[in-house]
Amino acid sequence: MTDSIGAPDDGDIVDFLGAVMDVQRLLSTLTLPVADSYSISERAMGIIFLIHAGVDRPSALSEYLNVLPSTITSDIDKLVAADLLRRTPSSTDRRVTRIEVTRRGAAVQRETLGRLQEFFRATAAGVTIDELYACIATLRKLSGVPQSPVPNPLRGPGDAR
Nearest to 49 by CA among 63, 35, 37: 35
Give the pLDDT score at 50. 92
Per residue in 15-55, pLDDT (tens digit) is 888 988 998 999 999 999 999 999 999 999 999 999 998 89
Handedness of CA 79, 110, 57, 41 (dihedral sign): negative
Give the pLDDT score at 51. 93
Strand partners for 55? none
Q: What is the pTM of this model?
A: 0.78
Q: How many CB atoms lie within 10 A of CB 30?
A: 16
Domains in the chain with CATH codes: 30-143 (1.10.10.10)
Q: Residue 86 — φ and ψ, nearest 5°?
A: -140, 150
**Which residue numbers in the chain have pLDDT < 50?**
none
Asked whether the beta carbons of 38 and 110 are under 8 A apart, the reply is no
